[in-house]
Structure 1
Amino acid sequence: MQDLVCQWKAKPLHGRYKSRIEDNAIDTKASQGWLQSGNLFLETEGFIASIQDQVVPTKLYRKRITHENVEDTRCRICGEKDEHIDHIVAGCSPLAPKQYLERHNDVAKILYQALAKKHLGETGTQPYYKYTPPPVIETETSRLYWNRKIITDRPIPNNIPDIVLTLKEERTTFIIDIAEPLPTNIQTTHAEKINKYLPLSDEIKRMWEMGNVSVIPVIIGATGEIPRKLHKSLEKLQLHPKIYLQLQKAALLGTCRTVRRVLGDENRIR
């Protein structure tokens, strides 16, 4: 078995995924949790595996791997960069306002409902694809904001985080921002989120008279990779440790949806 794993990892194309999930920053077992949960159709599981192994017939794949006569390898959407699977999954700018945002919001809706249930006593949970998050949920002890602009005394460029949770009695606020980057960008994205919202956290602490304000990045790889830091983020938010499986599933389905929409009938495994 170990020999087969080594052969897989040694492959220049298919072995990339194996190397990615064995990075020290990635929880390898959790990253494969979607395979063990058994709540995806077999066809979907196969399509996810083909995306992770980068054997989806993009223009660049068809030219370099299957050696088809593809003269122009530029992306059919943006027309600028080469069309490879990583570009479609999380690197094509025209897809950001619709496809990537839809995937992002699906993950965020799961988190928002879980926070509302845990900290504000909300009952019941809707499927994320049917759920419309209210901009504000508030009780005597807690307050939850969804994609809400935070008014500050001085201009702050980044003042619309995805979610803001305030625990009034503890005088604690969590600024939560979510992302589904390529696995190679996970650590960079985590650091960027923290730096992005530090000025806002300082303003909130002063204006709202908080004892503690924390920036909590919630980062999941666009192809399902689970960084070790995600577990710490969920723990700080006092959420169930296995909720990452729901977030992972939403991210993966969003990625599948994007690839299918871009490639259409060409998304067969070759």
Structure 2
Amino acid sequence: MVRGESYKYLGFRQLTGIRHSDIKTELRDKFLSRVNCVLRTFLNAGNKVRAINTFAVPLLTFSFGVVKWSKTDLEDLERRMRKAFKEAGMHHPQSALERVSLPRKDGGLGIVDISALCVAQVRQLREYFAERANQNALYRAVCAADRGYSALHLAQAEYQLNCNLQTVEEKIAAWKQKAVHGAHPHQLDRPHVDKAASNLWLTRGELSSVVEADMIAIQDRIMPTRNCRRYVWHQDVDDICRMCHQPGENIEHIMGGCPVLANAAYTERHNNVARIVHRQLALQCALLEDNVPNYRYLPAPVLENDRFKLYWDRTVLTDLSIHHNRPDIMVYDKSDRKVTIIDVAIPLNQNLEETHGRKICKYRPLAVELKELWGLREVPRIVPVVLSGTGIVPKTLLEALKVLNMEKELAGIQKSVILSTCAIVRQFLGQD
């Protein structure tokens, strides 16, 4: 061997000792190379996260407990990884950092927490050596001799790797405490919201990484609206809406409060959900022969067979003058003489509970009148299909889908709303 030349043993370059600095640089470059390799693929967001966790992170895991990783090294590595996510459009730079390593079921991206993984592995190795030292003299000698020679520091009984680790609960608490980002997790904790269903789009991971990053940024309320730029980023801009020219161009205004978008973008988002419901009802009632995809389905005003009659956005003629007589969907079961009135709404997060109650009150007069007019056995059932523009699912939506026997359509409905909301926000902000 040439003097000063290192050799590889168990995957690490070393000579009289392990060259920690060189190895960390090499591992960091290889890790980021693998991360970028995954980000360049056309995988959906969920599969990209799984690929990073199984293809890139294990490259580092092998070194934990052997190579001396400091808190600064690990933070720098995570920062470089987030930068790669930003450049690939997978993570908005202003989104809550806690969400990167939070599990998807809790509203995060689901990336493995590298610092926590390092600390856990060091702790496990130290526990292993401590246990073996009680049984074997060789292990006792190794532990006594390791005074900082290895990353384990076995001679120091109270040694702890200097990393500020947070549990999942602590990360969620820190996320909630943020003035701007914290609105969304507080919404998820409201009693009428189903948190697991609201995060279904994340756990399934079927959206593209760009759409997923946009929706997380929308939920964190850090999209570059004029209100955000003025009051959060302290830029010298007016917060007048660029479309309707009214004050208060915040993310809520864009998603559901701009009158210019009401008859086009909001209606299209609403109809996308209504089409999914109508198509499933048509299939259940044997009114539809071709099982066309949701995005190609165009509902007919009236579908009818020997037993069912299905209405789409039709005015119901009544003897009395009823103001709200045009529900989105209505199903008439001729044999049982029953009617179900279905109406769809995509309100803002804070209006979920109120919207559900308002829909029932809105169509109650029509339901009472139909019972007498059509000779029904009972007052028609009113089923509001309501979820927020950011995909938050109230418990009443799960009950409504259960009544309609289409629980499996929740993911499709939520996905449709999220895609539409992201498109609305993206097109709106592109007007500058």
TM-score by length of 2: 0.60
Sequence identity of aligned pairs in percent? Answer: 38
What is the rounded CA distance, in whole Å, between the counterparts of 1:128 and 1:221 in structure 2? 20
* Bigger mean CA deviation after superposition, 163-172 or 97-106: 163-172
What is the rounded CA distance, in whole Å, between the counterparts of 1:173 and 1:261 in structure 2? 39
Q: Is the 8 A contact 1:78 1:92 kept in 2?
A: yes
Question: Which residue of the other structure, out of 258, 267, 275, is the alignment partner of 1:101?
Answer: 267
Question: Which residue of the other structure, out of 171, 180, 201, is the alignment partner of 1:34?
Answer: 201
Paired residue type of 2:308: S
**1:247 match:** 413
What is the rounded CA distance, in whole Å, between the counterparts of 1:252 and 1:83 in structure 2? 20
1:133 aligns with 2:299: yes
Question: Which residue of the other structure, out of 220, 223, 234, is the alignment partner of 2:390?
Answer: 223
1:4 aligns with 2:171: yes
Question: Which residue of the other structure, out of 291, 303, 327, is the alignment partner of 1:161?
Answer: 327
Please state whether the residue corresponding to 1:129 is helix, strand or coil.
Answer: helix
How far 1:154 sits from its partner (Å)? 1.3
**1:237 match:** 404
Q: Is the 8 A contact 1:120 1:143 kept in 2?
A: no
* Bigger mean CA deviation after superposition, 120-129 or 228-237: 120-129
Q: Is the 8 A contact 1:120 1:138 kept in 2?
A: no
**2:244 match:** 78
What is the rounded CA distance, in whole Å, between the counterparts of 1:163 and 1:265 in structure 2? 34
1:178 aligns with 2:358: no
Q: Is the 8 A contact 2:313 2:326 kept in 1?
A: yes
TM-score by length of 1: 0.95
Task: Select the structure of larger CA radius of gyration.
Answer: 2
What is the rounded CA distance, in whole Å, between the counterparts of 2:313 and 2:233 in structure 1? 44
Residue correspondences, number: 264
1:61 aligns with 2:206: no
**1:203 match:** 369
How far 1:124 sits from its partner (Å)? 3.7
Paired residue type of 2:240: R
**1:142 match:** 308
How far 1:265 sits from its partner (Å)? 7.2
Please state whether the residue corresponding to 1:164 is helix, strand or coil.
Answer: strand
How far 1:121 sits from its partner (Å)? 4.7
What is the rounded CA distance, in whole Å, between the counterparts of 1:165 and 1:81 in structure 2? 42
Question: Which residue of the other structure, out of 247, 259, 263, is the alignment partner of 2:425?
Answer: 259
Q: Is the 8 A contact 2:187 2:349 kept in 1?
A: yes
What is the rounded CA distance, in whole Å, between the counterparts of 1:30 and 1:81 in structure 2? 34
Please state whether the residue corresponding to 2:288 is helix, strand or coil.
Answer: coil
Which stretches in structure 2 are left out of the alignment for 5+ residues? 1-167
Q: Where in structure 2 are the equivalents of 1:105-124 lying within 5 Å?
A: 105-124=271-290
What is the rounded CA distance, in whole Å, between the counterparts of 1:202 and 1:254 in structure 2? 35
Q: Is the 8 A contact 1:158 1:200 kept in 2?
A: yes
**2:318 match:** 152
Q: Is the 8 A contact 2:287 2:303 kept in 1?
A: no
Paired residue type of 2:281: L
Q: Is the 8 A contact 1:89 1:258 kept in 2?
A: yes
Q: 1:33-53, CA deviations, whole angstroms, 9 ceiling, x for partnerless residues?
A: 011222211111111110011
How far 1:235 sits from its partner (Å)? 1.5
How far 1:93 sits from its partner (Å)? 1.4
Paired residue type of 1:21: L
Question: Which residue of the other structure, out of 206, 213, 219, is the alignment partner of 1:46?
Answer: 213
Question: Which residue of the other structure, out of 166, 176, 183, is the alignment partner of 1:16?
Answer: 183
How far 1:225 sits from its partner (Å)? 0.6
What is the rounded CA distance, in whole Å, between the counterparts of 1:85 and 1:135 in structure 2? 35
Paired residue type of 1:161: P
Paired residue type of 1:199: P
Q: Is the 8 A contact 2:227 2:249 kept in 1?
A: yes
**1:89 match:** 255
Q: 1:5-63, CA deviations, whole angstroms, 9 ceiling, x for partnerless residues?
A: 10001111101000001111000000000112222111111111100110100001011
How far 1:203 sits from its partner (Å)? 1.2
